[in-house]
Amino acid sequence: MKTKIYNFKNIIEYKDLEEASSIIKNGGLVAIPTETVYGLAADGLNPEALEKIFIAKNRPMDNPLILHISDIFQVYELTKDVKETDIEILKKLWPGPLTVILNRSDIVPDEVTAGLDTVAIRMPDNKITRSFIKICDTPLAAPSANLSTKPSPTTADAVYEDMNGRIDAIIDGGPCTIGIESTVLDLTEEAPKILRPGYYTKEMLEKYWEIVYIDLGLNDKNITPKSPGQKYKHYAPNAEVLVLIGDDDSFRKEVNKLLLENESKKIGLMVFDNDKKLYNNKDVIYMGEKEDLSYMGKILFDSLRKMDENGVELIIVRGVEEDGYGLSIMNRLKKAASQNVRRI
């Protein structure tokens, strides 16, 4: 299969958007830009098309998909028992990097929900993609458009790297602005609960809901996480990843020691701007300010991919404390590092 690329970085050709929508209507796969990461989209109501997503990604069949919508009324079609107070809040937070879990309606296929009674729904904040969903005239099921276990793609190039020849088309809408997947919030219980941390933190969501819980299964090995996706290997580059958490001084000392001990290894560093001039090493990526983690989030997955492209064997990343947005970033980093995280 030849993968076609629609370049919508500067102008969107309506004719091309129509052509791409006919791929979806015929049961094909199209990668789409969103503000978080690129998604791999299929008609969310067509079981045969949905199966192709799992094959293209090598994704385990028991990991459910998110349905992407362009209008709030679709929530009523795809779910049941939704609270009006929740709808009012969603009108404020959508379009945006928030996925909600609700009880599914009968029209949602088992391939989307992996047989669960609930369904994940999100309205992405990307104009091209919302127009695309409208023209397709169906909710789009879309997991991140990477091969299973690899870092999520935040550019069309990263999608191409993993998916060339496996999918029909890619819509290139430029780099994603957030870079980390949406917060997954369960609205089926008494109080909302975060099942996957993302751009929206507990603190931000508590401006809308009185109290928001965090699934204990996220950080406790003895409790099964409610989101099936949390149990799989994820975001892993080919290189080994080591995450070090500590103050500036201890971090510098530990890195210098590791550089000396591993002279024969090609080591890459992902550090903050104020870690500058500390290392005489050409594979360094600066992730912005420690005090504002938004840039780190934006370039995290892309940096892991770049390190692989440069043939790095060991990536040392400066980790952060697990509060606020740091919880979301560390959730991804711990998986990328297969839990190889050390406090120094």
Decide whether 186 or 275 has the Cβ nearer to ligand TXA.
186
Check residue 42 for interaction with ligand TXA (CB under 6 A).
Answer: no
Strands (E), the chain: 4-7, 30-32, 39-43, 66-68, 79-80, 98-104, 118-122, 140-141, 169-172, 183-186, 193-196, 213-214, 240-245, 267-271, 284-286, 314-318, 341-343
Give me Rg for the CA atoms of the chain.
20
Cβ atoms 146, 164 nearer than 8 A: no
The entry of Mg ion, ligand TXA, none near residue 227 (CB within 5 to 8 angstroms by kind) is ligand TXA
What ranges in 30-181 are assigned the alpha helix state H?
A: 47-57, 73-78, 84-93, 110-113, 127-136, 156-163
Q: How far apart are CA 66 and CA 142, in angstroms?
A: 6
58 to 97, contacts with ligand TXA by CB under 6 A? 63-66
291 to 320, contacts with ligand TXA by CB under 6 A? none
Among 74, 79, 144, 201, binds ligand TXA (CB under 6 A): 144
142 labelled ligand-binding:
yes
Decide whether 21 or 154 has the Cβ nearer to ligand TXA.
154
Q: How far apart are CA 121 and CA 74, in angstroms?
A: 9
85 labelled ligand-binding:
no
Compute the least distance from the CB of residue 87 to ligand TXA, in Å.
18
63 labelled ligand-binding:
yes
Check residue 173 for interaction with ligand TXA (CB under 6 A).
Answer: no
Total residues at interface with ligand TXA (CB under 6 A): 29
The entry of ligand TXA, Mg ion, none near residue 142 (CB within 5 to 8 angstroms by kind) is ligand TXA
Decide whether 255 or 329 has the Cβ nearer to ligand TXA.
329
What are the C-alpha distances in Å from 106 to residues 45, 75, 112, 161? Answer: 11, 13, 12, 37
Report the interface residues with ligand TXA, using CB under 6 A.
34, 36-37, 39, 63-66, 99, 101, 113, 116, 118-120, 122, 124, 142-144, 181-182, 184, 195-196, 226-229
